A and B are shown apart, each in its own frame.
Chain A
Amino acid sequence: MSDTINVSYDTQIPNNVGLSSDRRVLKALEKWHPGYLDWWKGQGPDGFQESLVYLRTAVSVDPKGWAKFDYVRMPEYRWGILLAPQVEGRIIPCGEHYGEPAWQEVPGEYRSMLRRLVVIQGDTEPASVEQQRFLGKTAPSLYDMRNLFQVNVEEARHLWAMVYILQKYFGRDGREESAELLQRRSGSDEKPRMLGAFNEETPDWLSFFMFTYFTDRDGKMQLESLAQSGFDPLSRTCRFMLTEEAHHMFVGETGVGRTIQKTCERMREAGIDDPTDIGRVRDLGVIDLPTIQKKLNLHYTLSLDLFGSEVSTNAANAFNAGIKGRYRENKIDDDHRLQDATYPVSEFTDGKIVVKEVPALTAINMRLRDDYSRDALGGVKRWNAIIRKHGFDFELTLPHEGFHRQIGTYTGAPITPEGEVITPEEWAARRDEWLPSKEDGDFIASLMKPCWEAGKYAGWIAPPRVGIDNKPGDFEYVQLHMA
């Protein structure tokens, strides 16, 4: 029997799923591996493949073993297949099969639905690596550069996680989907990634932080609900991915927080009391708070779109089938079938926002999105605490759910961040008050100068309060090797 906690290295691919005795899947993955490495070398961090990066790698999936730190060249990172330990007696947590033993094999009737879910999740993983490909060149510190690369190698590992499920449980279809995952490209005209937000650019580091805070958090919520799947291998793989996802949340929350911290510090030093005095603040070489709010508006709303339509039969079917649960399904106290329950959903009709009670089963997406917004609010509160601590009268807020939406009931609706319905003309005229303008982007871009001396930080961002792995302030998180 294979030891399922510790990772075995007896195949090329580190794993805790007994790959060495599963010849078929091992061969399939070994065949996929070279293409994957080509993808990484071509689409992974540009210009840093030879650098030694202080990364954490999991050596086992129990809490003590999954955060081992060492210097690694990224192409030599031990991407592996790691599933959280199987829970004895686990049941299908929701839907019409609620209470039956969790499936260890794909239930035939749900095969294509399940495959689609896995492919969509899988597609986001390499997409973000592609989006962040050039950020290393403008890293504001070696610390931030290291965090970026950690996010990148872990997203790439998430691709492995999904490809394993495809190869192991979906036969020929799975092999083809795995190959496709390496062929689509973020932002490509011919073969774009599947979801909108994953084809956007990540032009600067504030975008990167906002992306990891808001968009990776969508990923986190999706993984949370797939971790509640009745298909046990998917649940286990997502549970382990969530531990890695936490680092991505961290990079986003502290990245934005440190940006705000620096802005506040510099404004105080310069005796600026009015945070909306944008010109003077920008002259200090820091990003003014109103612009940070605009970036927040953009990334939050793009991320809301990722949850799909408020009312969705696809989501209802997945829940009913027991292959995708709600956030913390196993902690919710109800019938887990949603036979009679309703859920309030807003609708935009005739230029008005109305709230309707709809069958909870069809409002699964909406509920997850609400959980997401609550989760996202936590960091905003921390950011505001930083601003308050420096004595400024300014508050960051999450915009109204109807603002700047491309999917669902609010698609294209002219709604302000405060939730006021206005005319399309007025909305278009005021767009740049709420969303980053070209000029805002140019200003931020002008600050994106690399700062690569150990322990030093670019002028627009504060150093972190604690180092990674408790390292001291001047630790060399990346030993650069420039060709």
Chain B
Amino acid sequence: MNKPLKQHLIDPEICIRCHACVEACPKDAITFNDDNVVVDAAICDGQMACIGPCPTGAIDNWRVVATPYSLEEQLEWMELPEQQEIAAGEGEADSEALDDAIATLLAEAHKGAGGVARAPASAAKPTVNLHGLENPLKVRVQGNFRLTAAASDNDVRHIILDLGPGHFPILEGQTIGIIPPGEDAQGRAHLPRLYSVSSPRDGERPSTNNLSLTVKRVQGGVCSNYVCDLGRGDEVLVTGPYGSTFLLPDDPEARLVMICTGTGSAPFRAFTMRRQRVMPTVNGRMKLFFGARSPDSLPYFGPLGKVPQEFLEKHFAFSRVDGKDKTYVQDRLRQDGEALAMMLTDARTHIYLCGLKAMEAGVEEAFNDIARASGLNWAEIRARLREEGRYHVETY
């Protein structure tokens, strides 16, 4: 069977035939006739040197194909073909990632949505798999900060990776792979581990070519310990970006319900910062339900406190605070049940779940109860939300 390939294509309706990309390509993979400029799939090795110089964005198009479109076909195009359904695994179009191992991890993480995940209709178009296992991107650690109190036995790190001159466009909600050095017990190179990007698309500060991760040290874990021990200036091999559905709607009207535990907060930090940057005055649209053992083991507890409640309505659930009842995110959802029930039937509502796989069941139950109390059917609502790209689960 032909392994599907991610083919680099140019949108002929947007391209203005300036040939800036032709000049920029170190491989001479881009050719043209009087009408179109096209990329030769046999030569292009995905270095992306052409992306920056293109003045139109025409160059930034990708299709997963079983057989690449030929140069002749492309030269005749008046418009870009739609993405065709590609048989992969169970016969679903798979464009979250191209490497099988990674695609499996993501499929597993998204399973909790109960069906094929879809991106929000208004989400920006993600780039996936620029750097596969064969051509990881080398980046440099710009910072490594502990997010949880020194006294807490939960060690979560805020890691900033400087992408240098690298082209690695990410959207909020996407993940990247990190390849830990060394080999596994069988003597094979380690596979990458996935980490959600916790910074917005234009960097930790606007227009910095960097990204951040939120990584928890796992006892005995190969990659998480490697990452948590990294120092400023160290080099790291990353792959990705991955994920084409767990994305932020580009719509000020969207209502976001974000539910997480621990490092599951990473994409929501990115979501919040994105909205703070592009629509800082749009209040009353985001709710965050965040579970941790205690305030000092909750990543970003301090910074979150500074985000105004009108902009981001925060509901913390602490499971191990002396003298307090154990509270989980699902308990907080129930407490806010009335408001949430109203949102369930609002076509602008998007629900996101990220973090511990274990919380899925409890959250499901909570929504079931909340819906029932208002005479609604959660299973039906969930299916509809999912089909419309408004229900997203990423748990691990």
Known: A465-B14, A473-B250, A474-B252. A246 touches B55 (CB 8 A): yes
Q: Is the CB of B53 within 8 A of A63?
A: yes
Which chain B residue lies CB-closest to A377? B34
Q: Which of A254, A374, A470 contacts B124 (CB 8 A)?
A: A470
Q: Is the CB of B207 within 8 A of A63?
A: no
Known: A64-B165, A64-B167, A470-B124. A69 touches B207 (CB 8 A): yes
**Chain A proximity of B311: nearest CB distance (Å):** 17
Known: A378-B17, A378-B34, A474-B252. A466 touches B52 (CB 8 A): no
Q: Is the CB of A475 within 8 A of B278?
A: yes
Q: How far is the CA of A454 from the CA of B16 in the complex (A)?
A: 25
Q: How far is the CA of A250 from the CA of B24 in the complex (A)?
A: 17
> Is A66 part of the binding interface, using a Cβ–Cβ cutoff of 8 Å?
yes
Q: Is the CB of A63 within 8 A of B52?
A: yes
Q: How far is the CA of A379 from the CA of B17 in the complex (A)?
A: 9
Q: How far is the CA of A66 from the CA of B206 in the complex (A)?
A: 17
- Which A residues are CB-close (under 8 A) to B169? 470
A228-265 interface (Cβ within 8 A of B): 239, 242-243, 245-247, 249-250, 253-254
Q: Which of A246, A374, A385, A476 contacts B16 (CB 8 A)?
A: A246
> Is B233 part of the binding interface, using a Cβ–Cβ cutoff of 8 Å?
no
Q: Is the CB of B207 within 8 A of A70?
A: yes
**Chain A proximity of B138: nearest CB distance (Å):** 14
Q: Is the CB of A243 within 8 A of B53?
A: yes
Map CB proximity to A onto B205-232 as digits: 1 under 8 Å, 0 otherwise. 0110000000000000000000000000
Q: Which of A65, A68, A239, A249 contacts B18 (CB 8 A)?
A: A249
Residue of B16, B49, B278, B279 ringed by the most chain A CB atoms within 10 A: B16
Q: How far is the CA of A417 from the CA of B165 in the complex (A)?
A: 50
Q: How far is the CA of A340 from the CA of B103 in the complex (A)?
A: 63
- Which B residues are CB-close (under 8 A) to A398? none
Q: How far is the CA of A250 from the CA of B11 in the complex (A)?
A: 14
Q: Which of B14, B49, B78, B124 contacts A63 (CB 8 A)?
A: B49
Q: Which of B20, B78, B122, B279 contacts A243 (CB 8 A)?
A: B20
> Is A472 part of the binding interface, using a Cβ–Cβ cutoff of 8 Å?
yes
A378-437 interface (Cβ within 8 A of B): 378-379, 381-382, 385
**Chain A proximity of B130: nearest CB distance (Å):** 13
> Is B166 part of the binding interface, using a Cβ–Cβ cutoff of 8 Å?
yes
> Is A67 part of the binding interface, using a Cβ–Cβ cutoff of 8 Å?
yes
> Is A62 part of the binding interface, using a Cβ–Cβ cutoff of 8 Å?
yes
- Which A residues are CB-close (under 8 A) to B49? 62-64
Map CB proximity to A onto B261-280 as digits: 1 under 8 Å, 0 otherwise. 00000000000000000110
Q: How far is the CA of A444 from the CA of B18 in the complex (A)?
A: 29
Residue of A254, A377, A378, A468 ringed by the most chain B CB atoms within 10 A: A378
> Is B40 part of the binding interface, using a Cβ–Cβ cutoff of 8 Å?
no
**Chain A proximity of B244: nearest CB distance (Å):** 15
- Which B residues are CB-close (under 8 A) to A60? 165
- Which A residues are CB-close (under 8 A) to B24? 63
Map CB proximity to B onto A431-467 as digits: 1 under 8 Å, 0 otherwise. 0000000000000000000000000000000000111
> Is B374 part of the binding interface, using a Cβ–Cβ cutoff of 8 Å?
no
- Which B residues are CB-close (under 8 A) to A245? 18
> Is B13 part of the binding interface, using a Cβ–Cβ cutoff of 8 Å?
yes
- The secondary-structure label for the interface of chain B is loop
> Is B155 part of the binding interface, using a Cβ–Cβ cutoff of 8 Å?
no
Q: Which of B18, B55, B60, B166 contacts A64 (CB 8 A)?
A: B166
Q: Is the CB of A466 within 8 A of B57?
A: yes
Q: Is the CB of A65 within 8 A of B34?
A: no
Q: How many residues on B have C-beta within 8 angstroms of the other chain's C-beta atoms?
A: 35
> Is B310 part of the binding interface, using a Cβ–Cβ cutoff of 8 Å?
no
B234-266 interface (Cβ within 8 A of A): 250, 252
> Is B65 part of the binding interface, using a Cβ–Cβ cutoff of 8 Å?
no
> Is B50 part of the binding interface, using a Cβ–Cβ cutoff of 8 Å?
yes
Q: How far is the CA of A470 from the CA of B54 in the complex (A)?
A: 12
> Is B346 part of the binding interface, using a Cβ–Cβ cutoff of 8 Å?
no
Map CB proximity to A onto B1-19 as digits: 1 under 8 Å, 0 otherwise. 0000000000001101111
> Is B309 part of the binding interface, using a Cβ–Cβ cutoff of 8 Å?
no
Q: Is the CB of B56 within 8 A of A381?
A: no
- Which B residues are CB-close (under 8 A) to A250? 16, 18, 55-56
Q: Which of B16, B78, B122 contacts A379 (CB 8 A)?
A: B16
- Which B residues are CB-close (under 8 A) to A253? 16
Q: How far is the CA of A239 from the CA of B19 in the complex (A)?
A: 12
Residue of B24, B50, B122 ringed by the most chain A CB atoms within 10 A: B24
Q: Which of A65, A249, A377, A476 contacts B165 (CB 8 A)?
A: A65
A12-67 interface (Cβ within 8 A of B): 60, 62-67
Q: How far is the CA of A71 from the CA of B205 in the complex (A)?
A: 13
Map CB proximity to A onto B154-173 as digits: 1 under 8 Å, 0 otherwise. 00000000000111010000
Q: Is the CB of A254 within 8 A of B56?
A: yes
Q: Is the CB of A246 within 8 A of B20?
A: yes
**Chain A proximity of B65: nearest CB distance (Å):** 22
Q: How far is the CA of A65 from the CA of B163 in the complex (A)?
A: 12
Which chain A residue lies CB-closest to B48? A64
- Which B residues are CB-close (under 8 A) to A467? 57
**Chain A proximity of B168: nearest CB distance (Å):** 11
**Chain A proximity of B1: nearest CB distance (Å):** 34
Which chain B residue lies CB-closest to A57? B207
**Chain A proximity of B118: nearest CB distance (Å):** 19
> Is B336 part of the binding interface, using a Cβ–Cβ cutoff of 8 Å?
no
Q: Is the CB of B18 within 8 A of A246?
A: yes
> Is B35 part of the binding interface, using a Cβ–Cβ cutoff of 8 Å?
yes
- Which B residues are CB-close (under 8 A) to A468? 57
Q: How far is the CA of A378 from the CA of B18 in the complex (A)?
A: 10
Q: Which of B13, B52, B54, B207 contacts A382 (CB 8 A)?
A: B13
**Chain A proximity of B12: nearest CB distance (Å):** 8
Which chain B residue lies CB-closest to A5? B165
Q: How far is the CA of A254 from the CA of B279 in the complex (A)?
A: 27
Q: How far is the CA of A242 from the CA of B22 in the complex (A)?
A: 12
Known: A67-B52, A374-B34, A378-B35. A472 touches B250 (CB 8 A): yes
- Which A residues are CB-close (under 8 A) to B279? 474
Map CB proximity to A onto B54-79 as digits: 1 under 8 Å, 0 otherwise. 11110010000000000000000010
Map CB proximity to A onto B115-149 as digits: 1 under 8 Å, 0 otherwise. 00000001011000000000000000000000000
Which chain A residue lies CB-closest to B24? A63
Q: How far is the CA of A76 from the CA of B132 in the complex (A)?
A: 40
- Which B residues are CB-close (under 8 A) to A385? 13, 78
Q: How far is the CA of A43 from the CA of B10 in the complex (A)?
A: 38
**Chain A proximity of B98: nearest CB distance (Å):** 21
**Chain B proximity of A369: nearest CB distance (Å):** 16
Q: How far is the CA of A82 from the CA of B206 in the complex (A)?
A: 25
- Which B residues are CB-close (under 8 A) to A379? 16
**Chain A proximity of B164: nearest CB distance (Å):** 9
Q: How far is the CA of A466 from the CA of B59 in the complex (A)?
A: 12
Q: How far is the CA of A468 from the CA of B165 in the complex (A)?
A: 20
Map CB proximity to B onto A61-87 as digits: 1 under 8 Å, 0 otherwise. 011111111110000000000000000
| Other 17 A-B pairs with CB < 8 A, given A246-B18, A465-B13, A472-B124 | A62-B165, A63-B24, A64-B166, A65-B52, A66-B52, A70-B206, A70-B207, A246-B53, A253-B16, A377-B34, A378-B35, A382-B13, A466-B14, A466-B56, A466-B57, A470-B124, A474-B278
Report which A residues bind B (CB closer than 8 A): 60, 62-71, 239, 242-243, 245-247, 249-250, 253-254, 374-375, 377-379, 381-382, 385, 465-468, 470, 472-476
Report which B residues bind A (CB closer than 8 A): 13-14, 16-20, 23-24, 34-35, 49-57, 60, 78, 122, 124-125, 165-167, 169, 206-207, 250, 252, 278-279
Sample 25 A-B pairs with CB under 8 A, ordered by A number.
Answer: A63-B51, A64-B166, A64-B167, A66-B53, A243-B23, A246-B18, A246-B20, A246-B53, A254-B16, A254-B56, A377-B34, A378-B35, A381-B35, A382-B13, A385-B78, A465-B13, A465-B14, A466-B57, A470-B57, A470-B60, A472-B250, A472-B278, A474-B252, A474-B278, A476-B278
